[in-house]
Amino acid sequence: MAHVAFIGLGRMGHGMAGRYLDAGFTVAVWNRSQAKAEDLIARGARWASTPADAADGADAIVTMVADDEASRAVWLGRDGAAAAKVGTLAIECSTVSYRHALDLARELRGRGLIYIDSPVTGLPDAAASGKLTLLVGAEPADLERARPYLVPLSTTIRHFGAVGSGTVYKLINNLMGAIQIAGIAEGLAIAEQAGLDMKLVLEAIETGVAASPQVLRHSKRMVARNFSGATFTAALRHKDAAYAVALAESLLSDAPLMGRAAVEAYARAKAVAPDDDEGKMIEIVSRQK
Protein backbone atom coordinates (compact mmCIF):
# COMPACT_ATOMS: atom_id res chain seq x y z
CA MET A 1 0.00 0.00 0.00
CA ALA A 2 1.43 3.41 -1.00
CA HIS A 3 2.53 5.60 1.88
CA VAL A 4 1.97 9.38 1.74
CA ALA A 5 3.29 11.99 4.13
CA PHE A 6 1.05 15.06 4.19
CA ILE A 7 2.39 18.25 5.76
CA GLY A 8 0.18 21.29 6.38
CA LEU A 9 -3.47 20.88 7.44
CA GLY A 10 -4.94 24.32 6.82
CA ARG A 11 -8.12 25.15 4.92
CA MET A 12 -6.88 23.31 1.84
CA GLY A 13 -4.45 20.76 3.21
CA HIS A 14 -6.89 19.16 5.61
CA GLY A 15 -9.26 18.13 2.84
CA MET A 16 -6.40 17.06 0.59
CA ALA A 17 -4.98 14.77 3.27
CA GLY A 18 -8.42 13.29 3.72
CA ARG A 19 -8.54 12.42 0.04
CA TYR A 20 -5.55 10.10 0.45
CA LEU A 21 -7.33 8.32 3.29
CA ASP A 22 -10.43 8.01 1.12
CA ALA A 23 -8.30 6.49 -1.64
CA GLY A 24 -6.83 3.84 0.66
CA PHE A 25 -3.33 5.23 1.10
CA THR A 26 -1.36 4.87 4.30
CA VAL A 27 -1.07 8.47 5.50
CA ALA A 28 1.19 10.20 8.02
CA VAL A 29 0.31 13.82 8.83
CA TRP A 30 2.08 16.74 10.43
CA ASN A 31 0.87 20.23 11.21
CA ARG A 32 1.97 22.95 13.62
CA SER A 33 -1.23 22.31 15.58
CA GLN A 34 -2.15 18.68 16.23
CA ALA A 35 -5.76 19.69 16.92
CA LYS A 36 -6.35 20.13 13.19
CA ALA A 37 -5.35 16.50 12.65
CA GLU A 38 -7.59 14.85 15.22
CA ASP A 39 -10.37 13.82 12.86
CA LEU A 40 -7.83 12.54 10.32
CA ILE A 41 -6.15 10.51 13.05
CA ALA A 42 -9.56 9.09 13.95
CA ARG A 43 -9.94 8.05 10.31
CA GLY A 44 -6.62 6.19 10.35
CA ALA A 45 -3.87 8.73 9.73
CA ARG A 46 -0.69 8.50 11.77
CA TRP A 47 0.27 11.64 13.65
CA ALA A 48 3.94 12.48 13.06
CA SER A 49 5.96 14.40 15.62
CA THR A 50 7.98 16.26 12.95
CA PRO A 51 8.02 16.63 9.16
CA ALA A 52 10.97 14.21 9.11
CA ASP A 53 8.92 11.69 11.08
CA ALA A 54 6.05 12.05 8.61
CA ALA A 55 8.45 11.53 5.70
CA ASP A 56 10.04 8.43 7.20
CA GLY A 57 9.30 5.56 4.81
CA ALA A 58 7.02 7.66 2.60
CA ASP A 59 6.73 7.06 -1.12
CA ALA A 60 5.53 10.63 -1.62
CA ILE A 61 5.60 13.75 0.53
CA VAL A 62 2.95 16.38 -0.17
CA THR A 63 3.16 19.82 1.40
CA MET A 64 0.50 22.54 1.59
CA VAL A 65 1.77 25.45 3.66
CA ALA A 66 1.45 29.22 3.62
CA ASP A 67 4.55 30.67 2.01
CA ASP A 68 8.26 30.40 1.20
CA GLU A 69 9.28 30.60 4.84
CA ALA A 70 6.94 27.82 5.91
CA SER A 71 7.92 25.67 2.94
CA ARG A 72 11.61 26.09 3.68
CA ALA A 73 11.04 25.20 7.31
CA VAL A 74 9.10 21.99 6.72
CA TRP A 75 11.47 20.76 4.02
CA LEU A 76 14.89 22.02 5.05
CA GLY A 77 14.60 23.05 8.68
CA ARG A 78 15.54 21.05 11.69
CA ASP A 79 13.72 17.69 11.44
CA GLY A 80 12.62 18.63 7.92
CA ALA A 81 11.03 16.32 5.38
CA ALA A 82 14.13 16.44 3.16
CA ALA A 83 15.49 13.66 5.36
CA ALA A 84 13.31 11.22 3.39
CA LYS A 85 14.83 8.27 1.59
CA VAL A 86 16.40 8.69 -1.83
CA GLY A 87 13.86 8.47 -4.64
CA THR A 88 10.93 9.82 -2.63
CA LEU A 89 8.55 12.10 -4.52
CA ALA A 90 8.54 15.64 -3.13
CA ILE A 91 5.30 17.31 -4.24
CA GLU A 92 5.01 20.98 -3.29
CA CYS A 93 1.37 22.05 -3.55
CA SER A 94 1.88 25.33 -1.71
CA THR A 95 1.85 28.66 -3.55
CA VAL A 96 5.45 29.80 -3.25
CA SER A 97 7.65 32.22 -5.15
CA TYR A 98 9.25 31.16 -8.41
CA ARG A 99 12.72 31.65 -6.97
CA HIS A 100 11.89 29.47 -4.00
CA ALA A 101 10.48 26.72 -6.23
CA LEU A 102 13.72 26.58 -8.21
CA ASP A 103 15.94 26.75 -5.13
CA LEU A 104 13.96 24.07 -3.32
CA ALA A 105 14.01 21.83 -6.38
CA ARG A 106 17.79 22.11 -6.60
CA GLU A 107 18.24 21.41 -2.90
CA LEU A 108 15.93 18.41 -2.79
CA ARG A 109 17.30 16.93 -5.99
CA GLY A 110 20.74 17.22 -4.46
CA ARG A 111 19.49 15.00 -1.65
CA GLY A 112 18.11 12.43 -4.07
CA LEU A 113 14.42 13.40 -3.95
CA ILE A 114 12.21 13.90 -7.02
CA TYR A 115 10.74 17.41 -6.88
CA ILE A 116 7.48 18.47 -8.52
CA ASP A 117 5.79 21.82 -8.10
CA SER A 118 2.03 21.33 -8.14
CA PRO A 119 0.17 24.37 -6.78
CA VAL A 120 -3.59 24.08 -6.94
CA THR A 121 -6.67 26.05 -7.87
CA GLY A 122 -10.01 25.43 -6.19
CA LEU A 123 -11.71 26.15 -2.88
CA PRO A 124 -11.63 24.02 0.28
CA ASP A 125 -14.74 22.09 -0.76
CA ALA A 126 -12.97 21.09 -3.97
CA ALA A 127 -9.93 20.02 -1.94
CA ALA A 128 -12.08 17.77 0.23
CA SER A 129 -13.89 16.22 -2.75
CA GLY A 130 -10.86 15.68 -5.00
CA LYS A 131 -11.91 18.28 -7.55
CA LEU A 132 -8.88 20.55 -7.57
CA THR A 133 -6.98 21.62 -10.67
CA LEU A 134 -3.26 20.95 -10.32
CA LEU A 135 -0.76 23.25 -12.03
CA VAL A 136 2.31 21.11 -12.49
CA GLY A 137 5.95 21.79 -13.26
CA ALA A 138 7.92 18.56 -13.70
CA GLU A 139 9.91 16.40 -16.04
CA PRO A 140 7.46 14.20 -17.99
CA ALA A 141 8.80 10.97 -16.48
CA ASP A 142 8.57 12.41 -12.97
CA LEU A 143 4.99 13.51 -13.58
CA GLU A 144 4.03 10.00 -14.68
CA ARG A 145 5.61 8.58 -11.56
CA ALA A 146 3.74 11.11 -9.42
CA ARG A 147 0.40 10.78 -11.19
CA PRO A 148 -1.02 8.13 -8.79
CA TYR A 149 -0.47 10.66 -5.98
CA LEU A 150 -2.01 13.55 -7.91
CA VAL A 151 -5.15 11.88 -9.23
CA PRO A 152 -6.87 11.52 -5.81
CA LEU A 153 -6.69 15.29 -5.41
CA SER A 154 -7.88 16.46 -8.77
CA THR A 155 -10.17 16.40 -11.75
CA THR A 156 -7.63 18.23 -13.94
CA ILE A 157 -3.83 18.10 -14.14
CA ARG A 158 -2.25 20.82 -16.27
CA HIS A 159 1.42 20.17 -17.05
CA PHE A 160 3.03 23.51 -17.91
CA GLY A 161 6.55 22.19 -18.45
CA ALA A 162 9.71 21.97 -16.39
CA VAL A 163 9.94 22.44 -12.63
CA GLY A 164 8.84 25.95 -11.69
CA SER A 165 6.41 26.40 -14.58
CA GLY A 166 3.40 25.33 -12.53
CA THR A 167 4.33 27.95 -9.95
CA VAL A 168 4.65 30.61 -12.67
CA TYR A 169 1.11 29.99 -13.84
CA LYS A 170 -0.28 29.88 -10.28
CA LEU A 171 1.25 33.28 -9.57
CA ILE A 172 -0.21 34.68 -12.80
CA ASN A 173 -3.62 33.24 -11.85
CA ASN A 174 -3.60 34.67 -8.35
CA LEU A 175 -2.29 38.05 -9.48
CA MET A 176 -5.16 38.35 -11.95
CA GLY A 177 -7.49 37.36 -9.13
CA ALA A 178 -6.09 40.07 -6.86
CA ILE A 179 -6.52 42.70 -9.56
CA GLN A 180 -10.09 41.59 -10.25
CA ILE A 181 -11.15 41.44 -6.61
CA ALA A 182 -9.68 44.86 -5.85
CA GLY A 183 -11.45 46.18 -8.95
CA ILE A 184 -14.77 44.65 -7.90
CA ALA A 185 -14.49 46.25 -4.47
CA GLU A 186 -13.68 49.66 -5.93
CA GLY A 187 -16.48 49.52 -8.50
CA LEU A 188 -19.09 48.43 -5.98
CA ALA A 189 -17.95 51.07 -3.49
CA ILE A 190 -18.37 53.77 -6.16
CA ALA A 191 -21.86 52.47 -6.96
CA GLU A 192 -22.85 52.48 -3.29
CA GLN A 193 -21.55 55.98 -2.62
CA ALA A 194 -23.24 57.28 -5.78
CA GLY A 195 -26.56 55.92 -4.52
CA LEU A 196 -27.22 53.36 -7.24
CA ASP A 197 -29.73 50.54 -6.73
CA MET A 198 -27.32 47.78 -5.71
CA LYS A 199 -29.71 45.00 -6.68
CA LEU A 200 -29.76 46.40 -10.20
CA VAL A 201 -26.00 46.88 -10.12
CA LEU A 202 -25.49 43.21 -9.26
CA GLU A 203 -27.88 42.10 -12.01
CA ALA A 204 -25.99 44.24 -14.51
CA ILE A 205 -22.60 42.93 -13.38
CA GLU A 206 -23.69 39.30 -13.53
CA THR A 207 -24.92 39.61 -17.11
CA GLY A 208 -22.30 42.04 -18.37
CA VAL A 209 -18.96 41.65 -20.12
CA ALA A 210 -17.00 42.24 -16.90
CA ALA A 211 -18.41 39.09 -15.29
CA SER A 212 -15.93 36.35 -14.42
CA PRO A 213 -15.87 33.56 -11.84
CA GLN A 214 -14.13 35.92 -9.40
CA VAL A 215 -16.63 38.71 -10.04
CA LEU A 216 -19.60 36.37 -9.70
CA ARG A 217 -18.23 34.82 -6.53
CA HIS A 218 -17.40 38.05 -4.71
CA SER A 219 -19.83 40.74 -5.85
CA LYS A 220 -22.93 39.54 -3.97
CA ARG A 221 -20.90 38.78 -0.85
CA MET A 222 -19.33 42.23 -0.94
CA VAL A 223 -22.64 44.04 -1.30
CA ALA A 224 -24.16 41.93 1.51
CA ARG A 225 -20.97 42.29 3.60
CA ASN A 226 -21.13 38.53 4.07
CA PHE A 227 -17.60 37.35 4.85
CA SER A 228 -18.33 34.33 7.01
CA GLY A 229 -16.33 31.19 6.42
CA ALA A 230 -13.26 32.78 4.85
CA THR A 231 -11.78 30.53 2.16
CA PHE A 232 -8.90 32.82 1.17
CA THR A 233 -7.51 35.56 3.38
CA ALA A 234 -6.22 39.05 2.68
CA ALA A 235 -2.77 38.04 3.92
CA LEU A 236 -2.55 35.10 1.51
CA ARG A 237 -3.77 37.16 -1.45
CA HIS A 238 -1.21 39.85 -0.64
CA LYS A 239 1.56 37.26 -0.42
CA ASP A 240 0.68 35.67 -3.74
CA ALA A 241 0.38 39.03 -5.51
CA ALA A 242 3.73 40.13 -4.11
CA TYR A 243 5.41 36.94 -5.34
CA ALA A 244 3.84 37.47 -8.76
CA VAL A 245 5.00 41.08 -8.98
CA ALA A 246 8.53 40.05 -8.04
CA LEU A 247 8.45 37.55 -10.91
CA ALA A 248 7.02 40.16 -13.29
CA GLU A 249 9.75 42.62 -12.38
CA SER A 250 12.35 40.01 -13.30
CA LEU A 251 10.79 39.36 -16.72
CA LEU A 252 9.13 42.55 -17.97
CA SER A 253 10.88 45.72 -19.09
CA ASP A 254 8.10 48.00 -17.83
CA ALA A 255 6.94 48.14 -14.24
CA PRO A 256 3.88 45.91 -13.58
CA LEU A 257 1.57 48.78 -12.72
CA MET A 258 -1.63 46.80 -12.19
CA GLY A 259 0.17 44.19 -10.16
CA ARG A 260 1.78 46.78 -7.92
CA ALA A 261 -1.59 48.46 -7.39
CA ALA A 262 -3.08 45.13 -6.32
CA VAL A 263 -0.19 44.48 -3.93
CA GLU A 264 -0.66 47.92 -2.40
CA ALA A 265 -4.41 47.41 -2.06
CA TYR A 266 -3.96 44.07 -0.33
CA ALA A 267 -1.22 45.45 1.90
CA ARG A 268 -3.89 47.80 3.25
CA ALA A 269 -6.37 44.95 3.71
CA LYS A 270 -3.71 42.79 5.35
CA ALA A 271 -2.87 45.57 7.80
CA VAL A 272 -6.51 45.85 8.90
CA ALA A 273 -7.72 42.23 8.78
CA PRO A 274 -5.00 39.79 7.67
CA ASP A 275 -6.89 36.61 8.54
CA ASP A 276 -10.31 37.73 7.34
CA ASP A 277 -11.83 36.94 3.95
CA GLU A 278 -10.18 38.76 1.05
CA GLY A 279 -13.58 40.15 0.03
CA LYS A 280 -13.38 42.56 2.96
CA MET A 281 -11.42 44.70 0.55
CA ILE A 282 -14.69 46.54 -0.06
CA GLU A 283 -14.70 47.79 3.53
CA ILE A 284 -11.28 49.31 2.94
CA VAL A 285 -12.18 51.15 -0.26
CA SER A 286 -15.69 52.13 0.94
CA ARG A 287 -14.40 54.54 3.56
CA GLN A 288 -15.65 58.02 2.69
CA LYS A 289 -13.40 61.05 2.44
118 lies in the same domain as 214 = no
Give the integer Cα–Cα distance in Å for 214 and 176: 10
Which residues touch 18 (CB under 8 Å, ≥6 apart)?
40, 43, 128
Total domains, the chain? 2
> What is the domain extent for residue 35?
3-163
69 lies in the same domain as 185 = no
What's the pTM? Answer: 0.95
Last residue of a domain, one of 133, 148, 163: 163
Three-class SS string for the chain?
CCEEEEECCCCCHHHHHHHHHHCCCEEEEECCCHHHHHHHHHCCCEECCCHHHHHCCCCEEEECCCCHHHHHHHHHCCCCHHHCCCCCEEEECCCCCHHHHHHHHHHHHHCCCEEEECCEECCHHHHHHCCEEEEEECCHHHHHHHHHHHHHHEEEEEEEECCCHHHHHHHHHHHHHHHHHHHHHHHHHHHHHCCCCHHHHHHHHHHCCCCCHHHHHHHHHHHHCCCCCCCCEHHHHHHHHHHHHHHHHHHCCCCCHHHHHHHHHHHHHHHHCCCCEHHHHHHHHCCCC
- Please give the pLDDT value at position 80: 98
131 lies in the same domain as 228 = no
- Please give the pLDDT value at position 79: 97
239 a catalytic residue? no
- Please give the pLDDT value at position 268: 92
Which residues touch 287 (CB under 8 Å, ≥6 apart)?
none
Which residues touch 169 (CB under 8 Å, ≥6 apart)?
135, 158, 160
- Please give the pLDDT value at position 288: 60
Selected catalytic residue, list 36, 170, 220, 270: 170
pLDDT beneath 50: ranges in the chain? none
Selection from 37, 22, 67, 31 nearest residue 51 by Cα: 31
Last residue of a domain, one of 163, 188, 221: 163
Last residue of a domain, one of 116, 135, 163: 163
- Please give the pLDDT value at position 256: 81
118 lies in the same domain as 197 = no
- Please give the pLDDT value at position 100: 98
224 lies in the same domain as 153 = no
126 lies in the same domain as 258 = no
